[in-house]
Every structure is written in structure tokens, then in C-alpha cells.
Amino acid sequence: MPLNRRAFLSSSVALAALATVLPRAVMAQATPEAGGTLRVAVDQAVSVIHPLLTRVNPEYMAAELMYSGLTRLGRDMQAEADLATEWSANDDLTVWTFNLRPGVTFHDGAACTAADVVASFEAILNPDFASPARNNVGPIASIEAVDDVTVRFTLSSSYADFPVALAYNNARIIPASVIEGSFESLRTVANGTGPFKLVSYEPDRLIVVEKNPDYYDPARPYLDRIELHVFPDLGAQVSSLMAGDIDMIATVGPNDYMRLEGQDSIDVLRSASGQFCNVNFGTDIEPFNDPRVRRALALTVDREAMVDFMTEGFGVKGNDTPLNESYPFFEALPQREQNIEEARALLAEAGFPDGFEAELIASDRPAIRVQLAVALREMARAAGITINVTTMPHATYLDQVWTKGAFYVGFYNMQPTPDGILKLLFTSDAAWNETRWNNTTFDDLVARARATVEPAARTDLYTQAQALMNEEVPSIIPAFFDVLGAKRSWMQGYDIHPRASVFRLDHAWLEASAPTRG
Amino acid sequence: MSASYILKRIALIFYTLFVVSILVFGITQILPADAAVMMLGENATQDALDALRTQMGLNDPIWLQYLHWASGVVQGDFGTSLRTGQPVGPALFSALGTSLTLAVLALALMLVLAVPMGILAAVRRGKLSDLVVGFISYIGVSLPEFVTATLAVVLVADLWGLLPPAGYIPLSEDLWGGLQRLILPVCVASVMMIAHVSRMVRSELVDVMHTDYIRAARLKGLTPRRVLFRHGLRNALLPTITIVALDVGYLLGGIIVVEEIFSIPGIGRSLMSAIQARDLPVIQAGVMIMAATYSIVNFAADLMYAWLDKRIQYD
Amino acid sequence: MTETNTVLRVENYSLAYEVKAGAVQVLNGINLAIRRGEILGLVGESGSGKSSMASAIMRHLAGNARENDGRIWLGETDLRTQSERQMSEIRGSRVSMVFQDPATSLNPTLRLGEQLAEVLIRHQKLTPAQAWAEGEARLAHVGLKTPREMMQRMPHEVSGGEKQRVVIATAFACNPELIIFDEPTTALDVITARQILDLFGALQQETGVASLYISHDLALLSQTADRVAVLQKGVIVEEGETAQLFRAPQHAYTKALIAAAPQPQRLLVQPLDAAAKPLVSVRDVTVNYGRKPLLDSLLRRDFAPVVGSRAVTLDLRPGEVLGIVGESGSGKSTLAKAMTGLNRFEGLIEFDGKPVRGLSDMDAEYRRDVQIIFQHPDASLNPRQRISEILARPVKLYGKGQGTTRERIVAMLERVRLPASYIDRYPHELSGGEKQRIAIARAFLSNPRLVICDEITSALDVSVQASVIELLMELHRDTGAAYVFITHDINLVRQIAHRIAVMYRGDLVEIADAERITDADRAPYTRQLLEAVTPPASTHSA
Amino acid sequence: MTDFLRRLLRSPQGALGCLVVGLILIAVVFGPYLTHYGPEDMQALARYKGPSAEHWLGTDQYGRDIFSRLLDGARSTVLMAVVATVIGTLGGAIIGTGSAYLGGRSDEFIMRTNDAVMAIPSLLMALMVVSLLGSNSVNALLAIAIAFMPSMARISRSVALTVRKQDYVSAAIARGEGAPYIVLREMLPNVIAPIVVEMTIRVSFAVMLFATLSFLGLGAQPPATDWGLMVSEARQYLHRSYWILLWPSAAIALTAIGFNLLGDGLRDALNPRT
């Protein structure tokens, strides 16, 4: 056992070391050329650039460009070194020590030391600042600066994935001075240790960043300048890519993907992922407090068709658990298929022989939510269940339905680890306990898994947890989406990340053939 | 047109803004969204929310909130956006600048096309050209912006690749690039008005050309050119001024759609995203600014009319 | 007449208009000739084709006009063969025109000066500066006091008379060979009209231009024209030296026209016993228009209301016909409106001894007893109601008397000499005269004791007018209702009124017995008014 | 009545308008019987189909029959538009004529306020109302109705005032008619005509406004068959099959043209003097 553990730790360190030298993304590539301006299209306004408060992918992208975390997430979902060069843990994985990269400075020239790291994490954990990271960086009990380049985290419980958890989008390091001063000030200005500095910021139109000459890696970033252009209209951003106005689209829909596929000098990017759209039950509300009803509904779903309707084939069938091949420690359960008879039978058992009527709420963005709702409505009809679809603006949805509703559509990025997604949504102490499923057996399985290092054992625990979910169906997860993107061929050093919220544009570079832009 | 008339019209503008402000504030107060939640996001703790609510004065009585807001507006302070936490005023006014560029170009295009079309149709009344113009205008008034916009993008940008499909570059940064990206939006935004105004010009001119003074002018042996342009057009275009001014209201509405589709960061788009995000301060400010623009345009139009048409005696 | 000095010669000219129904003949085999310095009067009622004649000469015909091969010569030029371009050279320079209403024939948005100068620039090839100077001279010449200012004025800034002077100046500007006058005074007030006529006479004498003077007013032509041609339904039924024609009219239609023209001597009312006590007495009735604008009251500005009529006092005996004359804006209609409760008024109206101080005092009885007939029948009859409904109302409201509503309507239709079949028609299916008869019928169906006639004949043709007056007088005899007859036609009112009230700018100048209205001791304005009136045609002696 | 119809059909606009609107009415009334597909029946195997014998106008992203969706949408779209316009017109007419009737200061106050409200573009007004009430067809209907009221108030007031000045109204007053008769029999028939014309033309405007609202995601919501919604949903599949986008767009345009033409036709036909 200890051996294994030691092996695990050293491997992660070695891996981290490797990462600093040669990130996977660029290993295959030709030697990067420096310089140039990259234009990126994002589909939502970048309303927030405060690294601890960002909430949507375009905001994550902006923050990632200007700020660093202790670790960052590789395409293989492993932690790679960022501000921390290496790390180690005590035997029961409750005390983690991180060695910081020396001589790193913030954009304003001030040195970035352990003090800033401590301050940043205290801010993240401070409820008043309401940082989404608070629930995602693991069970941190305390954090202290051992010296200028060493920080030690003490956890309230064992957590094997801690280094990965620290790569969370909102777990960025900001100057202690800011936190003591005006925390909010980072909404309009940026001062991080990231590869790029903020030049200009217009939330609804354009965010411009320029190369940070003092970035800790002398080689990177390769680009002089990156512009994030906001395109609320998806069609427009695709057209602009084809017109050569922009070099890359962070995420495209399946139809646009198909449209771009095969266009010359355009590369479409695709990665299998754990990203999914699901139907959440308020498991404490009639009639969904009865597992049989939930399973009945799950049985009405024609998952093959769902994959078509929702992803145009760019996805895989879901099995009503948030895990799939894209996650480590995954083992597949028998696939649930459509079975109307069984569904009817279950309903009868549950006291709904001739079905029931329910209101399914879907926020209006992204459109995929409504598509799921509309499709489910038709499928459920076969089992005598009448679903009335209600759509509402996302803001209203967040305010009134999200984590409160009885029957509504959710949408989630892939998380770095199985623990990440389960702790985020389904355990009793989940950050966003949407289903109020609160199954103690399940909680226990997850808790044990996060404290287990030995892969087979972990896999086994997660598989049990999955089985439990698949049986109880706190949420219908009909399909997983591949994440899709596109770029001009002249853009190199970029590949789409399964997590969909990680971009690593500091590795990107432009070929000579790329248009030169002011 | 006396000083007191101008005075009266200006007073009217302020009254308008007053009414609109009450309307907007009222509506935004009832909107199903909690400003504090908007601001802090879904991870906020209850006490954090309460703190913010008191700080934002959300617990004050409505009328007090209105007073605070209004007095702020009067001093040009529109509050801070719930979405971005930035002051609303500057952002919106730069957006307004963008929209005005679009609107003014659209108006210009409209005048350049609609008036000649109307004249042509009126002069060659009942002839083919009249029918063609009539047909065009019927189509024009019957296509919503989002349809014309989609068609325009698909044909002009995607299929023929003549123009950039979307995006916006301030003319100050790159004049040519900026203009290229404005062509489609401007055309789309002006279609409806072109159709409407050309019809107006036609009917007005037809009426005018049947008046005694036109007959008199002809029978004075004046050249047809002079009869049409010096005698006819002037009188026909007078009422058109008012029509155009009223259409500006419609234009402002259409711009919302156009900006959304062409990704132009104008006030229309700010309003749309604000409405979707329930960003109350932005909604309030945006509507106020639009209303103000509209009233000022109409004010200008009235003055122009009064100045051109000496007949009207204003009190 | 020798060929040499013939300016206009129309030979066997016919004109028709193509309409859906087919061709409508408006002019038929017209032959006309006007010599230099001669004034030819062309008289005819609306629809007689007199205006079409003018258009034909000007070569300004509607697209659906169909002409025969008749000729129109201007001097040696055959106008029928001229191209549009050539015609536009001729118009305004060799032949020009003066129109009926200066208010509409001048462009409201151009300075008077420009509208005059443009002709000189076009035809005399003057520079704008020269044309402007010349224009000033011309305006001075037509008797405008301040020509320079006039040139700068906009049409709405000057009086009707001044406008018409400008129009005339424009017509004479290029010393044309022929000028066509199309009812140039009809739209003007009596006194102004007289001045314009005098001006016309003078200029005509001076320039010796040939004139075609189109009018419906025989009396007027009898004084202005050298020769008169009578046009009926597109045919010239009679033509001759004015004196000749009026002394011994040959054609029946001419006779009818002359007869139709009002003649003060031929009284149409029986005298009245002066003893009877008044049916209506109007005491210091004043009508003000306009409300103090909000802004003014805010700014504490004082506000002068427009006075409609000022402290008018008059009596009316039962069965009396009181004529009220005066220029437009003299307040005669305002008074009528006040008496029928269409205007707020100050003062007192006593009707049959009952005091009426305001609208509230006008009870159903008063409403029944006092009826009003308006000037424009097509405006006073609801276009969306059939005659049956229009006429049924008074019966329903005040229907004392026997017979069903419909019977009584039919009876009334007969009284106003309209076929009973009209009962189911809409107003727009009737002619102007017929509409006015309906309006009259409506008034009399409630057996009124006072009928107020507000310019009821001024929109009608001479002959129609005569028949309507005849009808009115007949009804007067039968019903004994008193009339207030408001008009600007003094000849007419002298014929039918017992007494005549003269109003000027809202004031009642005086009231006099009809036969004494011409007396020397009348008020100066009254005398001015009467001098301005052209004496009726038949009294004209060459 | 018959001669009114004759006049209406005589003008080219009137005839054409009647034809188009007639067709639409047929779709509205008999829509469901004209097709054997339900508007929401999905066929996973028949998606993005072009026009064909079994699917006259093709199928959409869920394999739903576009023709049946259009027919079904005619009900919501057109009916909604008409109802919204009627409500808006009635509301406006009441405000306008009421204001005209009151006259004086109150008239000035009402109309000034009315004008003030007009300073908000009707689309924006509709947007606000919808976001206030929540996005669905019924609220969109209300929103449009409300957005129409100010301008209709303006129009009906001016019409009422002109009619009020007519001699036949004066005659009625002088005759001592009661207010009800004057308003109902003398004024109303003459006021209605121009308002009806305006209303007809506005229906086309309402159809477009409706579509625009749905397009912006604030009107009808999936799986509704509202035409505007169909267009906005179709846009992302545009490059798979443009039929999905084309048909509803065409339907909207056709309807709008139809009511425009009909309105112009009515304007001529309703004028008794021509």
C-alpha cells in the first residue's frame, strides 16, 4: 500500500515537472513561432473578469489568460504545475505541501509569494466573497505559509484529488494587497501572474490582453496579443471564422461543426467529454419522491434518439449517472434502454396507472436544455406521462428554479474528477444539491473513494456509487456531449479540452500564413 | 414659431422623460428577479445577500428608491450594472454612440433611396416603375428585421462572401473595416423605413401634384423640372419630415434585433442582454436613453417643420 | 371681325372624357373668337364645361381627354399642333391665366416675389436680380402699396385681395396676347372683388389684351364683358354683344339664367305687420373663441380671446325674414351658431318670451322651434346614413302630427320636390341642389318657428339657387316660420328679407328695412358694401 | 354590404388582400384537418427532409412535419396577432375618444402622457412587458396590445375630433339629439371606418412584432408552433436544411403582405364618396 501511495505521489510530481518543460498540447507540434494577434470568438458576454467570481466559460478563459493557479488541468485530467512546481502529501492525504515557483511577479511588478497564496485561498473560502471555488477546492481546514515559497494545506478529511481540485477555474492567485484593499476592484482591472496582461475590457464586445513579458516561463506565451470577441449570435461567429475574421471559436454547436468540417484551412476540434444535459428531480417533492416514478420516466427515454436530437451524433448515450469513459476510475454499468411497458408497470406500482402530468422547466440558454425538454416530452407521452415544457430566461431560472425546482433541466461541464462532479451535484453536502437526494450510502461511497489512492479500489467504489444512482435515478442523464470547437489551420498549439472550461492559450501560436493584425 | 413654442416643446421633452422614468422604474421594480442575487450570483450566502440588499437600498420603500435613482440619473449617474459591477452610464453611452452611427447611416440610406423611389412612383403614376416601387414597399413593410437579416447574412456573407457577416469595429479604429461591417446592418435596419417612407412620399407628392398651385405653376409655362422640384417636392416632403421622425421610434426598435444578429455592441444589444440577465439598472438607463433620443429627434423634426413651413402659427 | 387682330379663334372644337361608362361629352362644336382688346365673357353653370374650355386652350387636359379635329388658334399659332415643350414656352408668355381662388393658386411655401419673378426669368430670360426688380415694379403697378415687402412675403401673410393682385400681376407680367380669367372674384369678399374688377378693367384698358372671362355670374359679366357666350352642357347656346344679349335674350336657357339671377326689385315676401311682439330677441350676445393656453397661465401672460361676435342685439318678429350680410369673418355664422347652441355665448336670447342664457336653457322645445341649415349640404348630411334615417330623426324627436314616419318623410320629400324613391339613397348619390333640399326637409320636419339659413345657396348654381330660394319662400308662406338668412349676396337678400342686418368684424353695424337699405343715410360701411355690389343683370342698360 | 364587397374586390389591393387573408383564415380554421401529421410528432429517422410527397414542406430538426406545424402555427400566430391588435385598438380607441370627449386640460394631460409613452419603441415596450409578465404567447399578446395602445389612441382621437367638427354632428346637436345618439349613430360609423383600416394594417405589424418577440426568445416557447419561434429555432439548422427557415419566414411575410393589402383595399372601399 505505502509503495503504491509513494509511487502515486512521485509520479504526479514527475508529471508536474514534465508539464513545465513540454506541455502535452504542443509536443507533437512544429516549433512555435512567436508574435501575432489571435482573435477568439466567445458566445457569451464576459461580464466578470474577477478570477474568483467568474461563472461561465468565456469568463474562465479571460481569467485563465491573466491569472495563474497553483496547478492547472491537463487534457488527461491530471494536475500539472503552474505556480506550484511540485507537491506532496502526508500519508492519510490530509496535509498537502506545495512548493511555489520562485521569483514570480504580478503584472504590477509586485512579487507573488506564499502570503498571496494564503490570502487568495482565505478569500476563496470566505463566504462573503461568494466564490464558486469555495465548494470545489476540497475540504481545506487551514492554510499556512511555511516560507515565501512554501504553503501547507491542512484538510478536514483525506482527499486524493486535492492537486486536481486546486486547478479549479476559480482557484486563482490574486495579490494579498487587493484582498485587504478592495476585493471588488478586480471586476474592472486585472493584476495576476498569468501569461497575459489586460489591455481593454468591454464586457459585451471585446476583451484585449497582451503578452506578459515577465511571465515565469520565458518561452511562453508565444502570442503578442489576444482579443476575445463576443458574438451573441452563434451563426455570426461561425460565419466570421469562415470569413477569416477570427481564428478560433471556443465552442460550436453540432450543426456548425458539421458546417465547418471539411472547409479548407479550417480545423474542427472535437473531444469526448463528460459534459451532459440532465433532467433533475426534486426527490423530496411529489411525485418524484418515489424512485419508481423516476425510473419509469428514465425508461421512457430513447437514448439513441436523444444522442441524435441533442448532439446530432456528437455524443454518447448516458446511463443516468454523471460519469462516462472520459473520467478516470470509470467502469460501465449495463446500459438502460427505452422500455415503455416496464415504465408503465412501474408507474402503476407507484399509483399512477394512467400516468401523470408534470411541468418541466428549462432555462432558455443554452438551447440544448429546451431541446432535451421538448424531446423528453414526446418520449414520455408514450408512457402516458404528460409533460408541459416551461422555458424561462436563465436569470429567472437561477433565481427561482435552480436547486429548488421539482423537475427541471440542468447542464454541466465535465469536472476534473469523478469526485468533483459527484460532490458538486449529488452528495448530501453537494455544493449545488439540485436533487436533495441525500443518500447516505452514496455519500459514504464517495467519501471513501476520495480517501482511496489505489486505483482499482477507487474504481470499484465509484462503480458502486454509479449503480446506486442508476437504480435510484435522482436525475436522468440521457446523453453526454463531445465538446466541439473550431479554429483556422494557421492557429497552432491549441486543442479543445474535455473540460470545455480550460483553454491554455499561452501554448497557442500563429503560423506565418496567419493574417497580420494591428 | 415663437420662443414660447420652443419652450413648450422642451418642457414636453422633460415631461416625457418623467413619465417614461416612472414607467420604467415601476416595471423594473416588479421584474421577477432579485438584484442582490443577480449581483452576488448563486453562491452567495444569505447574510451576504442581506448585507448587499441594505447597502443597495433594496429594503427602502419604492418611492424612496425611485427618488434615489432619479436624482442619480439627473446627475448622470445611472447606477452600477448588476452583471458587470461597473457603472452603467459610460458603458451605455459608448453603446449609444455605436447605435447612433448605425441609426444615422440607416436614416441616410433611407432618405437617399426612399425619396427618389417615392418621386419616381408618383411621377410615373400607374406606370411600371410605380408598380415596382409599390411591390418593393409592400415586401419591405412585410419582412421583419430578423428575417431580412438572416437572409442577408446567408446570401451576401456566407454564399457570395461579399461582406463580413457580423462583428463591429469602431470607425475610429478602422474606417474601411468598420464600414464594411456596417453595410449589412444598415441595409437591414433601413428596409422597413425605406418601404414606408417611399409610400408616404409617393402619396404626398401625388396629392400635391393635383393642387391648384401646381396647375397654376404649369400654366405659368414653368419647366416640368421646376414645377416638380421647386413647387411640388418642397410641399410633399414637409409632412414626410414628421413621418420620418415618428419612424425613428420604429428604427430604434429594429436596431435591437439588428444589433443582436450582427453582434453590434450597441444600446439595443446592451438592453437585450440586460433584459435577459434582469440587469435592472441597465434596463432602466437604456430605456430612458432610447426615449430621450426619440423625443429629441421629434423635437428637432418639429422645429424643422415649423421653420420650413411658415404657414403654421405656433402659440 | 377681321382675321388680323383676332387673338384667339376656336373652331368647331369638341372635347370628351373617357370614363368607365364610356365617353362623356363636355364640349361640343365650340366656335369662339376674341379680338385684341376685347373681353369675351363665357357664362355657364358648373358642369357646363367652361373650365374645360380654359384647359383646352391652355392645352392642359387630363389624360382621358378625347378631342375632335377642331382647331384652336392663338394668333397664327395652331395650339393643337404644339408640342408640350412648345406649349410651356407659350403658357405664361403669350397666354396666361388668373384662377378662381388666390389662396390655393399660390404656392404656400414660396415667397410671392419668387412666384412672380420665376415667370419673368422663364419667359423674359431675365436674371433673377432683374426679374426681382421688375417684379417689384409690376406689384406697384397692380396697386400694392409696399411692393418690396410684398415680394418678400409668404402667401399666408397677405390678404386675399393682395394675393389676387399678385396673381394678376403674374398673369400680365409677360404682356401676353390672351388672358383667361377663371372666376377670378368668386372667392373674394364683395368689396375686394369690386376692387379687383376695377383693377382688371384698368389693366385691360391699358394693355389691350384679349380676355376670356369665365364666370357663373351674369350680373358681373353684364358689366365687364364686351360680348358674352352662354355655355350649356358643352354647347354655346347663344352669343352676342353684352347689351344686346341681356336686353333681348334669344335662347330659353339664357332667359332662364337671367331670370334666375336675384333682383332686389322683385320682392318675394309679403310685408309684415310691425305690431307683433318679437319671436326672438337677442340681447348683447357675445361669442369668444379660444382657451387660455396652460403655458400662458403658468407664465402669467394675459391672453386675448378671439372675438366671434361682439354684444349683438336684435329682434325678430314671427314670420319675419331677417337677412344678415357681411364679409367672411364678420361674425354672421358665429351668431347663427350661438342661437342654435353650437357656440358658448354671453348675453341673453329671449325666445317667445322664454329667456335663454346658455346651452343648458335650450330645452327640447327650443331645439324643435329653432332649426339651422348649413352652407355645404354634403357636409351637413351624414354620408353613412340613408335619406330615410336622416329625415326620420326630427320626426322621431318632435313628431307631432299624423301618419307613420315614412309617410311623413315621403310627404316632405314631395314638398321639397324630390321623388319619394330617394328615401333609400345615400347622400353621395344626390346632386348638390338635391342634398340641400334634403337638408331643408330635415329642418322643416320638426315644424320649426325659426329657421336659420347659413349661406345655404352660396355653394349652388344660379338656377339651382333660384329654385331653392323659391322652395324656401314657399315653405315660408306655408309655415309662417321666421328666417334668419345669412348670406353675402346682397341682391338676393334684398329680394327675400324684410330687414337686413349688416355685420362687420364681429360688430352689428346696423339693421334696416330691406327697401330702405339703399338710403343715403345708411352707415358708411353699408354704403361701401352696396356700391361694391354689381347691380343685377337685367337692370343693365347699354 | 354587397356593394361594399364589390368596391373592395374592385381594387387590386382589396382583391389580392382578400385572397391571401382568406387562405390564412382557411389555415386557421381547418388547419388540423388539412394534414395527417401532428405538429409535434417526432420522427427520429425523418429529420431535415426537404419537400416531398409525404412531407409537402419537408421536416425540421426533430423530424416534425413543417407543413402541419405551419398550419398549427397559423392559429397561434395569426389569431394572437389579430386578438392583440383588436385589444390594443379597443384600448386605444377608448383612451383616444375618451380624451377627445373630455377635452380641455384633461384631454391635453392624457394625450401628452400618451405621447410620452409613445417615446418608448413599441418593440422595446413589448420586450419590457413580456420580461415583466414572463415569456409566453399570452403575455406576448398582452405586450403587443399594450404597445399598440398609445398610437391607436392618438389616431382614434384625431379621427374623433375631425368627425366631431362635421356639420352633420352640429346639425344633430342643434336638433337636440341626445349624446348617445350623436356618438353612436352620427359619429361612430364615420370614426370606425378609418380605425378599421388602421387596425387591419396593424395586424400585419402585430404578426411581425409577435414573430420578433418569439425570435428574441421572449414570445412563444418551444415546442410551440409560433412562426417566429420556428424561424429562430431553425436558424441554427439553416445549413443543414434551409427549408426549416424558409417556410415560416415566407408565411410571416405573406400574412403581413396580405393584411397590408387588405387594409389599403378597405381604405378605398370604406370611403363612401368614391
pLDDT tens for each residue of A132-183: 888 788 899 999 999 999 999 999 989 999 999 999 999 999 999 999 988 8
To the nearest whole number, what is the mean pLDDT of chain C? 87
B181 and B244 assigned to the same domain: yes
Using alpha carbons only, give the angle D35, D41, D42 rounded to the nearest 5 degrees: 130
- At B57, is the secondary structure helix, strand, or coil? coil
Question: Minimal Cα–Cα distance from B159 to chain D, Å?
Answer: 11
> Percent of chain B, pLDDT > 70?
90
Evaluate whether residue B80 is within a structural domain. no
3-class SS string, A236-265: HHHHHHHHCCCCEECCCCHHHHHHHCCCCC
Q: Quick check: A235 and D236 CB within 8 A?
A: yes
Q: Which residue has the higher pLDDT, D37 or C447?
A: C447
> Percent of chain C, pLDDT > 90?
39
Q: Quick check: D212 and B144 CB within 8 A?
A: yes
- pLDDT given for residue B177 in this prediction: 82
Q: Quick check: A375 and D42 CB within 8 A?
A: yes
- Give residue B173's region: left, alpha or beta (phi > 0; psi -120 to 50): alpha
Residues of C in contact with B310 (CB under 8 A): 109, 154, 156-157
Using alpha carbons only, give the angle C515, C519, C522 rounded to the nearest 5 degrees: 115
Inter-residue contact A214 to A205 (CB < 8 Å): no
Instruction: Give the mean model confidence (pLDDT) for residues C470-478.
Output: 91
- pLDDT given for residue A16 in this prediction: 43
Question: Minimal Cα–Cα distance from B138 to chain C, Å?
Answer: 27
Question: Minimal Cα–Cα distance from B20 to chain D, Å?
Answer: 6
Whole-angstrom Cα Rg for chain D:
22
B65 and B94 assigned to the same domain: no
Distance CA A248, CA A494 (A): 9
A242 part of contact set with chain B, CB < 8 Å? yes
- At B137, is the secondary structure helix, strand, or coil? helix
A377 part of contact set with chain D, CB < 8 Å? yes
Residues of B in contact with A239 (CB under 8 A): 153, 157-158, 165-166
Q: Which residues contact C12 (CB under 8 A, 6 or more apart)?
A: C29, C30, C31, C68, C70, C71
Q: Quick check: B40 and A135 CB within 8 A?
A: no
Can you read off the three cell numbers belonging to residue B266? 450597441
- pLDDT given for residue A132 in this prediction: 81
Q: Quick check: B275 and D115 CB within 8 A?
A: no
Using alpha carbons only, give the angle C87, C88, C93 rounded to the nearest 5 degrees: 95
Last residue of a domain, one of B39, B74, B109: B74
- pLDDT given for residue A8 in this prediction: 44
- pLDDT given for residue B310 in this prediction: 65
Instruction: Give the mean model confidence (pLDDT) for residues C289-310.
Output: 63
- pLDDT given for residue B32 in this prediction: 59
D237 part of contact set with chain A, CB < 8 Å? yes
Can you read off the three cell numbers belonging to residue D102? 373630455
Assess whether pLDDT exceeds 90 at residue D12.
Answer: no
Distance CA B214, CA B207 (A): 10
Phi and psi angles of residue D26, each rounded to the nearest 5 degrees, phi first: -55, -45
B63 and B105 assigned to the same domain: no
Last residue of a domain, one of B43, B74, B105: B74
Which among B120, B106, B112 has a CA at the least distance from the CA of B148? Answer: B106
The region of weakest confidence among B182-186, B245-249, C121-125 is B245-249
D240 part of contact set with chain A, CB < 8 Å? yes
Inter-residue contact B234 to C109 (CB < 8 Å): yes
Evaluate whether residue B79 is within a structural domain. no
Q: Quick check: C397 and D177 CB within 8 A?
A: yes
Q: Quick check: D176 and C362 CB within 8 A?
A: yes
Evaluate whether residue B245 is within a structural domain. yes
B94 and B70 assigned to the same domain: no
- Cell 509503495 found at: A3
H or E, element range at A160:
none
User: Searching chain B, which residue's CA lies closest to the CA of residue A431?
Assistant: B43
Q: Quick check: B256 and D124 CB within 8 A?
A: yes
B123 and B48 assigned to the same domain: no
Distance CA D43, CA A440 (A): 42
Can you read off the three cell numbers belonging to residue C514? 330691406
Inter-residue contact B103 to B189 (CB < 8 Å): yes
Beta strands in A314-416 (DSSP E): 315-317, 357-363, 386-392, 407-412
Q: Quick check: A308 and D239 CB within 8 A?
A: no
Assess whether pLDDT exceeds 50 at residue A381.
Answer: yes
Question: What pLDDT digit, counting tens, does each position of C166-187 carry?
Answer: 999 999 999 999 999 998 888 8
- pLDDT given for residue A22 in this prediction: 42
B175 and B298 assigned to the same domain: yes
Evaluate whether residue B50 is within a structural domain. yes
Which among C124, C144, C143, C145 has a CA at the least distance from the CA of C134? Answer: C124
Report the range out of B297-311, C17-31, C268-282 with the highest average pLDDT.
C17-31
Inter-residue contact C486 to C454 (CB < 8 Å): yes
Distance CA C229, CA C246 (A): 11
Of B43, B260, B265, the CB nearest to A233: B260
Question: What pLDDT digit, counting tens, does each position of A263-300 carry?
Answer: 889 999 999 999 999 999 999 988 899 999 999 999 99
Question: What pLDDT digit, counting tens, does each position of C175-222 carry?
Answer: 999 999 998 888 888 888 889 999 999 999 899 899 999 998 888 888
Instruction: Give the mean model confidence (pLDDT) for residues B208-235.
Output: 91
Question: Minimal Cα–Cα distance from D164 to chain A, Å?
Answer: 48
Evaluate whether residue B96 is within a structural domain. yes
Which among B284, B266, B265 has a CA at the least distance from the CA of B275? Answer: B284
ipTM reported for the complex surpasses 0.90:
no
Question: What pLDDT digit, counting tens, does each position of B24-75 carry?
Answer: 888 877 765 566 666 666 555 666 677 777 766 777 788 888 888 888 888 8
Distance CA D226, CA D214 (A): 8
Evaluate whether residue B81 is within a structural domain. no
B137 and B276 assigned to the same domain: yes
- pLDDT given for residue B214 in this prediction: 93
Instruction: Give the mean model confidence (pLDDT) for residues A396-405.
Output: 82
Question: Minimal Cα–Cα distance from D121 to chain A, Å?
Answer: 22
Assess whether pLDDT exceeds 80 at residue C295.
Answer: no
Assess whether pLDDT exceeds 90 at residue A444.
Answer: yes
B141 and B278 assigned to the same domain: yes
Q: Quick check: C371 and D166 CB within 8 A?
A: no
Question: What pLDDT digit, counting tens, does each position of A47-96 carry?
Answer: 889 999 888 889 999 999 999 999 999 988 889 999 999 999 998 899 99
- pLDDT given for residue A4 in this prediction: 42
Evaluate whether residue B154 is within a structural domain. yes
Residue type present at position D137: S
Of D40, D62, D237, the CB nearest to A255: D237
- pLDDT given for residue C294 in this prediction: 56
What ranges in C426-517 are assigned the alpha helix state H?
432-444, 462-479, 490-496
Question: Minimal Cα–Cα distance from A193 to chain D, Å?
Answer: 39
Q: Quick check: D217 and A396 CB within 8 A?
A: no
Using alpha carbons only, give the angle C447, C451, C453 rounded to the nearest 5 degrees: 140
Q: Which residue has the higher pLDDT, A98 or B76?
A: A98
B45 and B104 assigned to the same domain: no
- pLDDT given for residue A154 in this prediction: 95
A389 part of contact set with chain D, CB < 8 Å? yes
User: Are C and A touching by the rule of 3+ CB pairs within 8 Å?
Assistant: no
- pLDDT given for residue A38 in this prediction: 95
Residues of A in contact with B41 (CB under 8 A): 53, 55, 130, 132
Which value, to the nearest 10 degrees, does the dihedral of the CA atoms of residues A66, A69, A71, A72 take?
-40
- pLDDT given for residue A228 in this prediction: 94
Distance CA C320, CA A430 (A): 103
- pLDDT given for residue A142 in this prediction: 94
Which among B285, B281, B286 has a CA at the least distance from the CA of B269? Answer: B286
Assess whether pLDDT exceeds 80 at residue C433.
Answer: yes
- pLDDT given for residue A176 in this prediction: 94
B9 and B49 assigned to the same domain: yes
> Percent of chain A, pLDDT > 90?
61
Can you read off the three cell numbers belonging to residue C525? 360701411
Residue A26 — very low, low, confident or very high, per pLDDT cuts 50/70/90?
Answer: very low
Question: What pLDDT digit, counting tens, does each position of D220-254 carry?
Answer: 777 888 888 888 888 878 777 888 888 999 999 99
C442 part of contact set with chain D, CB < 8 Å? yes
Distance CA B222, CA C119 (A): 7
- Cell 357666350 found at: C229
Distance CA C444, CA D168 (A): 16
Q: Which residue has the higher pLDDT, D1 or C371?
A: C371
B223 and B253 assigned to the same domain: yes
B220 and B193 assigned to the same domain: yes
Residue type present at position C206: E
Assess whether pLDDT exceeds 50 at residue A19.
Answer: no
Domain coverage including residue B297: 89-308
In this structure, chain C runs to a length of 542
- pLDDT given for residue D217 in this prediction: 80
Q: What does DSSP assign to residue C91?
A: B
Of C294, C341, C382, the CB nearest to D174: C341
User: Are A and D touching by the rule of 3+ CB pairs within 8 Å?
Assistant: yes
CATH of the domain at B166: 1.10.3720.10
**Strands A196-202 and A206-211: what pairing?**
antiparallel
Other beta carbons within 10 Å of A3: 7
Q: Which residue has the higher pLDDT, C313 or A2?
A: C313
Assess whether pLDDT exceeds 50 at residue B121.
Answer: yes
Assess whether pLDDT exceeds 60 at residue B145.
Answer: yes
Which among D194, D102, D117 has a CA at the least distance from the CA of D149? Answer: D117
Q: Quick check: C109 and B211 CB within 8 A?
A: no
Of D41, D62, D240, the CB nearest to A255: D240
Domain count, chain B: 2
Inter-residue contact D122 to D85 (CB < 8 Å): no
Can you read off the three cell numbers belonging to residue C463? 338656377
Evaluate whether residue B314 is within a structural domain. no
